[in-house]
A and B are shown apart, each in its own frame.
Chain A
Amino acid sequence: MIERILKKNEQNVAVAPKEPLYKSDVEQLEIMVEYTETHRRFSDDQKLEREIACLNVLFPKVFRPMYNGDRIVGRYDALPIGFGSVTSVGAPGHYCRFDQMAKLRSRMEKKYHSTIDDLIAYWKLHDTREIFYRDNLLENVMGPFVDVRYPVIITARFSGMYLDYNKLLDYGIDGLIGLIESKKSENPSSMIEYESMIQALQLLQKVIDHHIAEVKNTLSESLSDDRRCQLVTLLDALKEIRNDKPSSFLSAMQLAWLYSSMAGVVNYGRMDDYLGDYLVSDLNSGRLSEAEAMDLIESQWRLIEVKRTNVNGRVIVGGKGRRNEKNADVFCKLAIEVTKRAQMVEPQFTLRFYEGMDPQIMEKAMDSISTGITYPILYNDDVNIDAVMKTMNVDYTTACNYVPFGCGEFVLAGKGVGTPNVCINLLKSLTILVHDGVDQWDYQYKLGPLNVKKMSEISAFEEFLELYKQQLAYYIESGGQAHAQSYKVMNEQIGFIFTSILTDDCINRGKMVLDGGVFHLGGTNEMYGNINAADSLYAIKKLVFEDKVLTMSQLQDILAHDFDGHENLRRKMTDLPKFGNDDDEVDQLAVWLHEFTCSHVAKQAEKVGLDSWLVVVINNQVNTEWGRATASSPDGRIAGMYMSNANNPQSGADINGPTAMLNSLAKIRADINAGTVQNIKFSKRMFDQERKKIQALFKTYFKKGGPQLMVNIVSQADLIDAYHNPQNHRDLIVRVGGFSARYVNLDKDVQKEIMERTCND
């Protein structure tokens, strides 16, 4: 046995540190005690009343004062205990971040410790994820998110909700209250639901009042003329949206932002669709110049960035199905300019494009990408809309509202749930199977109750594939049940009232989002290690069954010893053809694996009561983190080494140039899953000098069915230098997988994985 040491993983993907909280530790503790006491007063049967009462403890207290230069308001801090939706800001539902509580405890004087301990003890029983984990983990098979020792990890979270901002802005707060009131008679049994919605909107008004007071206060200080003017406009906007629907770009943006903050939503929808009309009206009337509009957008970007969700913060522009395409495109172009100018890691600025789009938009997008900012990320409507119609079984108009959230999972904006609550490591699974169920990482048996033939007894590659299918089917089916269970647990605890108000069809049905309110109750399953698994399958096929260089038992032995004393064989494995070189024999195994997993995952939806359950191959940096606890694999990858990112070739394995790489990628079907991410890296020199040819390269790939592309323009020399001398490269931004980050903030092995990706120069 080899002694393995696992580098500790944080609870979440955390790359850039957040700003310290504004409130002092003592103030935080007071709020958290009050929150906890409030929570304690209610039973689960009173979840909606409880949610409103708890939210009233937090808001508006958790908003920090505006910063000088802010053009819109709404900076809020997530405390270690509170209410949220996603793991990147607070946590889902009523939550306690035990890691942060431990830190708080160590910072605070002893006299506070027993209070903190009481809180921790209470939340050990009531934190949403704790409740979920209590009954849903499977020993050695299914662990909590992100415990990389398991082949399957699960969680209860509510990621990726996109609100129906058009509804918010069309109605305004009073309008929404009126709408909800009017439904009471239609659904008399939903009085509690409707009351909670109205109370939530009243709380939003309270928050607006808080900000009105703050702006008024600031105006009483001595200010520059410019700043005074900005604040007067802001005050008018806040006063307007307190009751009425917005009439200007600023007030519309402000209302949407405050609403998102209170809902705990961290992806901001098709912004050009819901802000375009306001923008154009202001530009036409002379109320705003383009330069002023860009400043406002940049202020919005800053508020998004400061949340440091790392993997969220999506803003979507472009694409089919916007209400007023012409006006939306005006916003779209200015937003690209701002993204290019501001050079921020968030928002994850996303462009949906299609044949027939205003060509200036793609030109501007390429200009922005050429600066190295990695944005916009490109999504191909001509492929993705059809895919969504098929996988989610919805009509064209509905599918036009698909949006990628977080790392790139598709969801229907304003009318769908698609949170990824299950992840499966396909490579770890394969290494477990190769060793007859025993993970060579920690020597635990991880096939559960499966009765699988021994490796020494199989005589054909097809038999191996059959066993692999059995194993994955078991993992997928267990994951499917856990996923459905996560919704049940959350629904017992939480209404997600703010989210429900702006999610179809909650108001009409008088039901909360997870209680039968949402139009499309979907979910996604993140697959990891796909390409290493495919390369490994090829290695087994070739070395064991075709060329008979090895027996399965010898392969087990070599891998169990991390290739020690078998460097030649490792070299042979590494030198075998790999995915990403347009080599059909190996590419087809990746295709097979993708199709099997997608189809088996999709089949579970009906069994567990979801409208869809779909594979996503959208790795963030968990491909590296999970690689750390994945044993040596037949593709020549040594234990602990990173795995390939999403469907991309293992870093550096694509040696036939970008056409070959993209051809390999295009073989993987995009119409059976809910999102994949593809990275391509060019040197600045190449991208600038050969822009036309590179655009032709992308265009061809998209015509071949490529769903998405993330382009990183970076100099290889810079990456190497930044790896060794981080202090000189603080602003270098790279695309990791489903998110972008400042390179020097990444873990060293993540940096290495990115550095070793093929750079087209």
Chain B
Amino acid sequence: MTKGLIFDIQRFSVNDGPGIRTTVFFKGCGLRCAWCHNPESIASYQQLSVDSTRCDGCKRCFDYVKGYGIEMINGKAVIDTNIHDRTLDLVHVCPQGCFSVVGEEKSVDEVVSVIMKDWDYYAESGGGVTFSGGEALNQWGFIEPLARILKEKGLHLTLDISGYDPAGILTKTLGLIDLYLLDVKASSDDIYHKYVGQTLNPEGMLKILASAHKPVILRVPLIADVNDDSRLFDYLAQLNLAYDNIIETNLLPYHTLRKKQQFRLLNEREFFTVADQDRKNFWKNEIIRRQIRHVIMENELLSQ
């Protein structure tokens, strides 16, 4: 039986669809967004992650790799994660627990059993389950039987997709998924090329979803001076007019929160400016001016 490569199962998830949800994060993504806030989701294999704050300088990891890719600096092991990205043995070598593995292979039954623990909370709140990533579509082969079981149990299912679907898997999901979260990352190919690594066409996805009568929530990462030009807001307004299956648009201002662990980064990670209140007000006005309906930013409803 196939297993899913999952890097987190988050219970009491409140930002990935209606009600109280459990979000399953699938590892592996074909995009390389420069602002990615969970870069541990990108690689489609299990990765070694390092928490060097725990290191007490015992050198066991250094000895284990015979000094290859690990240096002792100021009494602490410094690991070259490009070299030891997949040296998962180190987890068992270190007595301090400095190493861990990002990504766990799980069976459908295992995931179902975690999800079902919160069934009562979904029922009370109108919540359910969200498949996210990484790019969840890449593991549809695993998700499909999982979703089938959850559907039989009466759960509301949401699929969070980036808009990148070269294999055309989206159509296969339509029978099982109730709600889609779809990214709109940019308004021009230039920006896509420069910051995402692929050219995307969210409208193509929207068309498929509209013809299947599937509701969609658009998710728009906003990075000051990168993608927040007027063309983006025009584009959102245009989509809004053309597709009445867009039930909501979420603006997601860029933030710098990230986990502490080090691991091999697959994207060219950059740091951008965090928007101040003035900038957020500017975005808000752009939305209101264009009468884009039902837009939410950081839980604030910007327009009805």
Contacts and interface: CB of A to CB of B under 8 A. Distances in A.
Q: How large is the interface on A (under 10, 10 to 19, 20 to 34, 35 or more residues)?
A: 20 to 34
Most buried by B among A696, A703, A704, A760: A696
B96 to A, nearest CB: 7
B124 A657 contact: no
A364 B140 CA distance: 45
Nearest to A698: B124
A582 B96 contact: no
Contact of A571 (B96, B118, B126, B298): B96
Contacts of A699: 124
A656 B121 contact: no
Nearest to B13: A657
B174 to A, nearest CB: 28
Interface in A696-735: 696-697, 699-700, 703-704
B10 interface: yes
A658 interface: yes
A224 interface: no
Contacts of A660: 11-12, 117-118
A659 B119 CA distance: 10
A118 interface: no
B20 interface: yes
Given A703-B120, A704-B120, A657 B11 contact: yes
B97 interface: yes
A98 to B, nearest CB: 49
A263 to B, nearest CB: 43
A374 interface: no
Contacts of A696: 19-20, 121, 124-127
Nearest to A686: B14
Contact of A658 (B12, B124, B125, B127): B12
A689 interface: yes
Contacts of B96: 567-568, 571
Contacts of B120: 700, 703-704
Contacts of B117: 582, 659-660, 663
B171 interface: no
Interface string B272-304: 000000000000000000000000001100000
A659 B121 CA distance: 8
A657 B14 CA distance: 11
Contacts of B127: 693, 696
Nearest to B119: A700
B182 to A, nearest CB: 23
Given A571-B97, A660-B117, A689-B299, A697 B12 contact: yes
B14 A690 contact: yes
Contact of A693 (B11, B20, B95, B97): B20
A571 B95 contact: yes
Nearest to A656: B11
B118 A693 contact: no
B95 A657 contact: no
A10 interface: no
A697 B299 contact: no
Nearest to A568: B95
A575 interface: yes
A696 B126 CA distance: 9
Contact of A575 (B97, B118, B124, B298): B97
Contacts of B123: 700
A697 B95 contact: no
Contacts of A568: 95-96
Interface string B125-168: 11100000000000000000000000000000000000000000
Nearest to A689: B299
Interface string B8-41: 0011101000011000000000000000000000
A697 B20 contact: yes
Nearest to A574: B97
A696 B123 CA distance: 9
B10 A693 contact: no
Nearest to A688: B299
A582 B117 CA distance: 8
A704 B298 CA distance: 31
A700 B11 contact: no
B121 A697 contact: yes
B53 to A, nearest CB: 13
A571 B51 CA distance: 14
Contacts of B97: 571, 575
Contacts of B121: 659, 696-697, 700
Contact of A700 (B10, B14, B124, B298): B124
B280 to A, nearest CB: 15
B10 A657 contact: yes
Contacts of B95: 567-568, 571
Contacts of B11: 656-657, 659-660
Nearest to B54: A571
Most buried by B among A660, A690, A693, A699: A693
Given A696-B127, A697-B121, 5 more contacts: A567-B56, A656-B11, A689-B299, A703-B120, A703-B124
12 contacts: A568-B96, A582-B117, A659-B121, A693-B14, A693-B19, A693-B125, A693-B127, A696-B126, A696-B127, A700-B121, A700-B123, A760-B12
9 smallest beta-carbon distances between A and B, as pairs? A696-B125, A568-B95, A689-B299, A657-B12, A700-B124, A657-B11, A696-B124, A659-B12, A659-B118
Interface of A: 567-568, 571, 575, 582, 656-660, 663, 689-690, 692-693, 696-697, 699-700, 703-704, 760
